[in-house]
Structure 1
């Protein structure tokens, strides 16, 4: 079946349809990872997005469901140059195409993904329609125009509190779309974890008397969840806080800083970051389209701890006197390197000192 990618500037790419038969609207972004497509497609931070994979050959090791980062995929679609229908790996349970159908992901293959990536880099992330149905361009345009603004965090967050037993420190996770690997990094260190919906109130979070609060990753604009920003403000001088990705941006807003939408964001497992305080560079996993505005931090009790080695954007901050810090990248990797997982140890140490 034919597949089509229609961009809001009128550009049309035609290829072959894969995955679920259907049509969806999303923000077109690109990911530079060479592997890890199962984790990428199930990362809740990709809610509302159509993912253009830069690496040209996707699916060669299949899918085994062991690396899913959430119970289902929230991505709107995937674009690949070439898809492998005969995966070779002893752990493989199914092909990527079978996985896409199970997860209700619309896909298109056979497109010039390098051209698409260059277009996004030149003009920025943009709205698109991805379809493998027999639709006219007029129908595609009408579908794009009918898509309104969405609360993406609400779509991916838990709807009620969830508890995981542990013997060590008690951690409250404010769920903006938390990845399973983040929870795993906490529980394997013995933490008792309680996951709260994104719109929980300060009193609800503090009712369990947490030793620390983790602000998770998630999709979209941090300014779309201003309720959460206000509740995090109340937590800042009460308990150690660790923010990851969207959580980093929300913490910045709570501290009085500002965020902005990037031209095309950072998405992939190979982004260089410099840890200023350790005087050491790391390769990190990233997935975000918003960043912290450096100028907005100048008069705050905040220190910049990490910077991006490609574009010098802020990758980490900490409060000058409180055990409150955050990073823009993903210390749990998944997919990508886990060299910065020391940040979980730092957070748990801060939480333990509160006991």
Structure 2
């Protein structure tokens, strides 16, 4: 970012995650670091940024035009969350265009809340791939819904485009005020009201385990919303906090014992603390739309329960060995083996280890089929 807290006639905003106040911020430069050799390239996105132009004068030759970035890298640029959060914070008030409404603050918006773990928190912006109502294809967005001040129903959502050539464009969809559209906290409440889901949570949330509700996603689908929330199960154990003979100051030096302690030992009793004994395990997926709330072991199952049979089947992008077992000639099996071998070599050249491993697994299955058929012929 290019930042300043001295921009004239401009209110200050808190930079998320830093505790620093700024009143000027732009994402004018994309920095690319080569993880193999450590080269650092600076690509300029906004040539009109005066702060950036000052740096360019100080360090001539350091900054490259964005057009020189490779097409492959351009596919991976994302609109930054911190900048988007500051813009959303300003838009909560400045979306009001009527001067009288603005003066009376009659139409203030706020960030929605969600249940994360078991705590109520403000939602944060999240990246998502969706197709806008007036568009022909899906795009990569940074999105955040909004609610009216002191209310939980959804009133609109703001999104930043991440795909070229529309990168950086902000769009807002305002929902009709005469129509109730459930917001995230209202969906959370409906989840809590579902008897079967509450029973499952109570069963899992026994001593030694804890139910953790993950980040909720509000996904625009045509003229409605689908809410998705993962549910994790985390092991826990009670471990007592050790009593400290002396208190440690924030600077790291030991201070004198407080009054009420004896012999340098704290007089208070040990307080149990919860520490995680294992990584959270994805247990269920909650999906909700309108008045319908379901929980399923898999995402496609939850979506089918919400959308019905209109959900397309998720199929593999390659032919597996199971599809060539029945009566396939040896030449076809050998051809498939060679095809997977060549794909594995291509993935290896691209340093795509996931694809390389996938093709090797398929090659192993096909070779097993080939061995089985040749063994039966020998007999």
TM class by shorter-chain length?
under 0.3
Structure number with greater Rg is 2
Select the structure with the greater relative contact order (CA < 8 A; seq sep ≥ 6): 1
More helix by share: 2
For normalisation by structure 1, the TM-score amounts to 0.19
